[in-house]
């Protein structure tokens, strides 16, 4: 969704801001803008709709000088994506310039109040209300910007991350957050003086410094050219900045020779998953060490139930997690769409464990769902990829995926990272609860350890999927079928295709076909069936025959060495053998590749599909 970049120091701000906006492009946006104060004290604002490149083109002949600035990529919520609604927004006197991520829920009431005070508005946005409110508060209270922001935000309901420049004080930058992430990078300039960077995440910052402060909810920060960093909360209590060192490297943010981040991330999966299990899964001692579980083992041993809240792809991984945890740890698991859960009045017991699964750790619905669970007394566990993200901070315990930054909007390595983490979690609980025999526990540990190699095999042996995908480029509908552990894989296969190729696709439990969707089958309908050798193998063969009998074109994902299904399927994709419960980790790989190559054949913007955002920070 929206992205914020900021800088104050001795360097020219514009190149840092533009590069930062490019780094944040993956989050999704529809307009961009930048604002700097130059040496003469002019506050300049430039905005453009569309790509950051359009903003750069617009700025090519403008005065973009100045060593302090803020910039923004906007994903429209209030008001259409045009240059008026794009950020930064100026206050009435044009003394303040502000960028904002999030949604101000009471902006209409505030706007009416400000209009009565003589303020006029040019845009439809809630953000313009915010900058006017800060100016109004500053003038009324005759105070400095830092104080005005603290006072103004007390009247604001909603979520925000903001950064503000003040024309007549070009030596200071003020920012604040509540509900939307904001990271402050603390660097050192050529003269040894502290300089500050801002980012919605660490990606625009890592190039300049590894030292960061993750601003916490309801904190307001002041930075200036003397190197001063002052943080207070909304209660005006001073906070000591907690410095963190980023482990992120610049290479991880580049395509590394791949044409798209998505393809790079698909191929990164074997290594990413090795990193994910490193230090946690011990093949020699057949052990699992997951500190997030061990440190709170009583909570898991005594859990009446586990509820997993998630959205999109993370919801699919949660479903696989449910099957696995119930099987190995014998605890009932419910999987909830966070967006539904938060607006019901769900029954939550104090001995429930509520797990949030989220790649970004910033998904607004998932965050709200766990906040609700917390109010009802549940123990909260987070499974996130982004270090220091809101969900990671809001939970009592958790496990990071450690699969590296995922830039492509379509989740791939984070999905398999979530699945493998949920498997680790299930086994760690099973160990504490003694729900598995030693032999079975060892077998599962050993097999899970092999999974990254088996994914590598799958990637190497399915290199021709690009040619195969060409056959399907012009199909208008797809069906993906699976049963048991492979049913969520079918859902995920359909979602991947929809997201990046804009082809309508449905994922279904194979046996449910005859209850309705089989009516869709004809010779125009490609049907992908996950038919690996497992408990439901024979049943899936019957489902394939039902599809074939209606003229459907079947592609079956089969276990290496399978000879039966060839008789019934038009095409075969071969997968290495593994235990049924780990099959999703393997079977999802060719479906990711298929979605990717179809989207490429159709000429789509694979990494930044239309209308989608990487991190959905609004509900």
Q: By the criterion CB under 6 A, which residues form the site for ligand AGP?
A: 311-314, 358-360, 363, 366, 409-411, 499, 612, 615-616
* Listed residue (541, 513, 531) closest to 574, CA to CA: 531
Separation CA 445–CA 441 (nearest Å)? 6
Q: Is the dihedral of CA 616, 4, 131, 225 positive or negative?
A: positive
Contacts of 460 (CB under 8 A, 6+ apart): none
**Helix or strand (DSSP H, E) at 305:** strand 305-310
CB 199 within 8 Å of CB 386: no
The residue of the chain with the least Cβ separation from ligand AGP equals 312
Contacts of 209 (CB under 8 A, 6+ apart): 185, 186, 187, 188, 197
Separation CA 217–CA 161 (nearest Å)? 9
In the complex, what is the shortest distance from the CB of residue 494 to ligand AGP, in angstroms, rounded to a whole number? 11
Q: Is the dihedral of CA 588, 589, 594, 597 positive or negative?
A: positive
| DSSP designation for 120 | -
Q: State how beta strands 229-233 and 219-224 pair.
A: antiparallel
Residues in the chain: 619
Q: Which is nearer to ligand AGP, 145 or 272 (by Cβ)?
A: 272
Separation CA 165–CA 173 (nearest Å)? 6
Separation CA 614–CA 325 (nearest Å)? 28
Neighbour count for residue 67 (Cβ, 10 Å)? 22
Q: Which is nearer to ligand AGP, 285 or 611 (by Cβ)?
A: 611
Q: Which is nearer to ligand AGP, 312 or 576 (by Cβ)?
A: 312
Q: Where are the alpha helices (DSSP H) in 330-464?
A: 338-341, 364-375, 390-394, 413-433, 438-461
In the complex, what is the shortest distance from the CB of residue 385 to ligand AGP, in angstroms, rounded to a whole number? 8
* Listed residue (489, 498, 491) closest to 532, CA to CA: 489
* Listed residue (403, 422, 420) closest to 359, CA to CA: 403
* Backbone φ, ψ for residue 160 (5° rounding): -155, 150
Please identify which residue in the block is written with the tokens 């009471």: 106
User: Following DSSP, what letter does each residue of 542-607 receive, concatenated?
Assistant: HHHHHHHHTT-EEEEEEETT--SGGGT-SEEEEE----GGGHHHHHHHHHHHHHHHHHHHTT--TT
Neighbour count for residue 361 (Cβ, 10 Å)? 29
In the complex, what is the shortest distance from the CB of residue 369 to ligand AGP, in angstroms, rounded to a whole number? 11
Q: Which is nearer to ligand AGP, 180 or 615 (by Cβ)?
A: 615
In the complex, what is the shortest distance from the CB of residue 391 to ligand AGP, in angstroms, rounded to a whole number? 8
Q: Which of 51, 194, 299, 614 is catalytic?
A: 614
In the complex, what is the shortest distance from the CB of residue 388 to ligand AGP, in angstroms, rounded to a whole number? 14
In the complex, what is the shortest distance from the CB of residue 614 to ligand AGP, in angstroms, rounded to a whole number? 7
Q: Which is nearer to ligand AGP, 63 or 340 (by Cβ)?
A: 340
Q: Which is nearer to ligand AGP, 174 or 606 (by Cβ)?
A: 606
Q: How far is CA 533 from the centre of its chain?
A: 33
Q: Which is nearer to ligand AGP, 265 or 562 (by Cβ)?
A: 265
User: Following DSSP, what letter does each residue of 145-163 receive, concatenated?
Assistant: HHHHHHHHHTT--B-EEEE
Contacts of 375 (CB under 8 A, 6+ apart): none
In the complex, what is the shortest distance from the CB of residue 310 to ligand AGP, in angstroms, rounded to a whole number? 6
In the complex, what is the shortest distance from the CB of residue 420 to ligand AGP, in angstroms, rounded to a whole number? 15
Q: Which is nearer to ligand AGP, 198 or 616 (by Cβ)?
A: 616
Q: Which of 2, 59, 384, 423 is catalytic?
A: 2
| DSSP designation for 192 | S
In the complex, what is the shortest distance from the CB of residue 490 to ligand AGP, in angstroms, rounded to a whole number? 15
Q: Which is nearer to ligand AGP, 195 or 265 (by Cβ)?
A: 265
Q: Which is nearer to ligand AGP, 25 or 562 (by Cβ)?
A: 25
Q: Could you confirm whether 311 is annotated as catalytic?
A: no
Q: Where are the alpha helices (DSSP H) in 119-238?
A: 126-141, 145-153
In the complex, what is the shortest distance from the CB of residue 311 to ligand AGP, in angstroms, rounded to a whole number? 4
Q: Could you confirm whether 614 is annotated as catalytic?
A: yes
The CA R_g of the chain, rounded to the nearest whole Å, is: 26
Q: Which is nearer to ligand AGP, 499 or 607 (by Cβ)?
A: 499
In the complex, what is the shortest distance from the CB of residue 616 to ligand AGP, in angstroms, rounded to a whole number? 5
Q: State the catalytic residues.
A: 2, 614
């Amino acid at each position: 969704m929206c992205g914020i970049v900021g800088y104050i120091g001795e360097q020219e701000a514009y190149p840092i801001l533009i590069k930062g906006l490019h780094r944040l492009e993956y989050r999704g946006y529809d307009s961009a803008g930048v604002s700097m104060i130059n040496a003469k004290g002019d506050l300049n604002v430039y905005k453009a709709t569309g790509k950051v490149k359009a903003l750069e083109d617009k700025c090519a002949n403008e005065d973009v000088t100045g060593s302090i600035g803020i910039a923004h990529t906007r994903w429209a919520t209030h008001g259409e994506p045009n240059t008026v609604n794009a950020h930064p927004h100026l206050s009435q006197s044009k003394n303040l310039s502000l960028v904002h991520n999030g949604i101000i829920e009471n902006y209409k009431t505030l706007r009416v109040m400000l209009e009565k005070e003589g303020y006029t508005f040019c845009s439809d946005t809630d953000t313009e209300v915010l900058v006017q409110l800060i100016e109004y508060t500053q003038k009324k209270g005759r105070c400095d910007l830092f104080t005005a922001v603290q006072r103004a935000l007390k009247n604001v309901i909603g979520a925000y991350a903001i950064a503000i420049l003040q024309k007549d004080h070009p030596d200071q930058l003020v920012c604040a957050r509540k509900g939307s992430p904001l990271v402050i990078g603390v660097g050192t300039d050529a003269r040894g003086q502290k300089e500050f960077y801002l980012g919605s995440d660490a990606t625009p910052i890592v190039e300049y410094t590894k030292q960061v402060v993750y601003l916490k909810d309801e904190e307001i920060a002041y930075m200036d050219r003397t190197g001063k960093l002052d943080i207070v909360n909304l209660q005006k209590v001073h906070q000591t900045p907690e410095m963190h060192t980023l482990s992120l490297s610049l290479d991880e943010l580049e395509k590394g020779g791949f044409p798209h981040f998505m393809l790079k991330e698909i191929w990164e999966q074997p290594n990413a998953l090795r990193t994910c299990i490193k230090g946690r899964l011990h093949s020699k001692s057949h052990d699992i060490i997951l500190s997030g579980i061990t440190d709170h083992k009583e909570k898991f041993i005594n859990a009446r139930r586990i509820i997993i809240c998630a959205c999109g792809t993370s919801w699919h991984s949660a479903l696989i997690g449910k099957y696995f945890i119930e099987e190995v740890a014998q605890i009932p698991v419910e999987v909830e769409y966070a967006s539904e859960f938060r607006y019901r009045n769900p029954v939550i017991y104090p001995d429930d464990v509520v797990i949030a699964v989220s790649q970004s750790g910033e998904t607004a619905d998932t965050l709200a769902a766990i906040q609700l669970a917390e109010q009802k007394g549940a123990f909260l566990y987070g499974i996130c990829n982004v270090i220091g993200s809101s969900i990671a901070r809001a939970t009592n315990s958790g496990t990071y995926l450690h699969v590296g930054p995922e830039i492509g909007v379509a989740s791939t390595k984070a999905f398999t990272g979530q699945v493998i983490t949920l498997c680790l979690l299930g086994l760690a609980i099973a160990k504490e609860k003694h729900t598995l025999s030693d032999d079975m526990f060892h077998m599962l540990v050993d097999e899970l350890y092999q999974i990254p190699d088996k994914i590598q095999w799958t990637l190497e042996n399915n290199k021709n999927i690009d040619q195969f995908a060409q056959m399907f480029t012009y199909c208008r509908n797809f069906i993906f079928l699976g049963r048991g552990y492979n049913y969520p894989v079918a859902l995920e296969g359909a979602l991947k295709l929809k997201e990046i190729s804009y082809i309508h696709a449905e994922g279904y439990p194979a046996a449910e076909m005859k209850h309705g969707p089989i009516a869709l089958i004809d010779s125009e309908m490609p049907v992908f069936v996950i038919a690996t050798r497992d408990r439901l193998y024979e049943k899936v063969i019957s489902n394939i025959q039902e599809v074939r009998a209606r003229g459907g074109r079947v592609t079956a994902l089969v276990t290496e060495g399978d000879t039966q299904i060839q008789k019934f399927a038009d095409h075969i994709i071969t997968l290495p053998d593994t235990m049924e419960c780990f099959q999703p980790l393997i079977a999802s790989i060719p479906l990711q590749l298929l979605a990717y190559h179809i989207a490429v054949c159709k000429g789509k913007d694979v990494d930044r599909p239309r209308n989608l955002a990487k991190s959905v920070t609004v509900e």
